[in-house]
Amino acid sequence: MVLYLIGLGLENEKDITLKGLERIKESKEVYFENYTSKLQCSVKDLGKLYKRKIIIADRNFIEEKSKGIIKKAKKESISILIPGDVFSATTHIALFQEAKKYKVPVEVFNNASILTAIGITGLELYKFGRVASIPFDNEKIKTPIEILNENQKINLHTLFLLDLNNETKKYLSIQEAIEYLLKNKIKKETMAVACARIGWSDYKIKSGTLEELMKINYGDPPYCLVIPAKKLHFIEEEMIAMWNNKA
Ligand SMILES: C[S@@+](CC[C@H](N)C(=O)[O-])C[C@H]1O[C@@H](n2cnc3c(N)ncnc32)[C@H](O)[C@@H]1O
């Protein structure tokens, strides 16, 4: 049978594609990977609209028990629902590889991702460099700063994804991300764009210096932060000005 990897998009249960929904209906079991990102809806909301029992698959389940799911998918079709787009978190590549290894057919249903939806800031997508993730325990972590410096050298934008844990309802805040950057000698005058709930109806985007962005209340997660390249196209400049905190 088939392993269906279905992207759910950014906001809620209604962002699924029609094709994805059809495959859910054909599946014997439906899993929901809920640890790489946060949607606005609950698992109950997903189950209600899709009219299926939804099994929560946490990090341990996806990373340790993926072989079990793949073996099941050999006999009966299984859907795995993934927030955002399917391959925008590295862990799902392993599922795909595993399925191929066991000769289980895989079908992928793409959806919106933070990696493209961030285009709403007005910063050109093809001018983003390597993406950096800021983890909760970041005392000794230098990689995000190295990525920022590399990107800045060749005039590219840097997207910082901020750690989250849906189980404990813990989300690294924009303030914590800025504190991390300041502690690592990024200047408080650096221009940045702070984003919350992109793709949701109540999204919030603010531009300003790190010092200014520190003082804003962004509401609920998920959050991310962008440090734009030093040299911007005039349309990028206009858009950044539009999101300015004072505007
Ligand atoms: C590991 S990525 C997974 C991305 C997801 N699979 C996708 O395609 O969008 C999760 C991180 O992206 C960021 N993120 C995800 N959705 C977001 C949203 N709607 N608004 C702002 N940031 C978001 C947060 O920093 C979050 O910790």
- Give percent of the chain above pLDDT 70: 99
pLDDT at 134 over 90: yes
Pocket test for ligand 1, best of 6, 37, 158 (most atoms within 8 A of CB): 37
Q: Is the CB of 9 under 6 A from ligand 1?
A: no
Does residue 12 line the site of ligand 1, with CB under 6 A?
no
Q: Whose CA is nearest to atom 6 of ligand 1?
A: 84
Q: pTM of this prediction?
A: 0.96
Q: Is residue 89 over pLDDT 60?
A: yes
Q: Are 58 and 164 in contact (CB under 8 A)?
A: no
Q: Which two tokens stand for residue 40?
A: 């606005």
Q: Report whether pLDDT(180) > 80.
A: yes
- Residue 1 Cα to ligand 1 midpoint, Å, equals 31
pLDDT in tens, 6-39: 999 999 999 999 999 999 999 999 999 988 899 9
92 lines ligand 1 (CB under 6 A): no
Q: Residue 77's pLDDT band (boundaries 50, 70, 90)? A: very high
Mean pLDDT across 124-133: 98
Burial 110-123 (b: 16+ CB within 10 A, else e): bbbbbbebbeebbb
Is there an atom of ligand 1 within 6 Å of 104 CB?
no
Report the distance separating Cα 15 and Cα 179, nearest Å.
34
| CB of residue 83 inside a 6 A radius of ligand 1 | yes
pLDDT of amino acid 245: 60
The CATH number, out of the four listed (3.40.50.1000, 3.30.950.10, 3.30.420.10, 2.10.25.10), of the domain defined by the range 115-242: 3.30.950.10
Q: Which one is predicted more confidently, 78 or 58?
A: 78
Give the pLDDT band (50/70/90) at residue 246. low
Give the Å distance between the CA of 103 and the centre of ligand 1: 31
User: What integer is the mean pLDDT of 171-179?
Assistant: 98
Residue 178 near ligand 1, beta carbon < 6 Å: no
Residue 247 has pLDDT above 60, yes or no: no
Name which residue leads in pLDDT, 122 or 63.
122
Neighbours of 243 (CB within 10 A): 18
Task: List the chain domain ranges.
Answer: 3-112, 115-242
Q: How far apart are CA 150 and CA 158, in angstroms?
A: 9
133 CA distance to ligand 1 middle (Å): 10
Instruction: Please tell us whether the domain made up of 3-112 is placed in CATH 3.30.360.10.
Output: no
Q: Measure 106 CA to ligand 1 centroid, in angstroms.
A: 24
User: Which pLDDT tens digit goes with each residue over 38-69?
Assistant: 999 999 999 999 999 999 988 877 777 778 88
- For the chain, the straight-line distance linking the first and the last C-alpha, in angstroms and rounded, comes to 55
Ligand 1 centroid to Cα of residue 246, in Å, is 26
Question: Residues 78-93: what's their mean pLDDT?
Answer: 92
Q: Which of 167, 4, 11 is nearest to 81 (CA)?
A: 4
Q: Is the CB of 221 under 6 A from ligand 1?
A: no
Q: Do domains 3-112 and 115-242 have the same CATH topology?
A: no
Q: Which atom of ligand 1 is nearest to the CA of 112?
A: 8
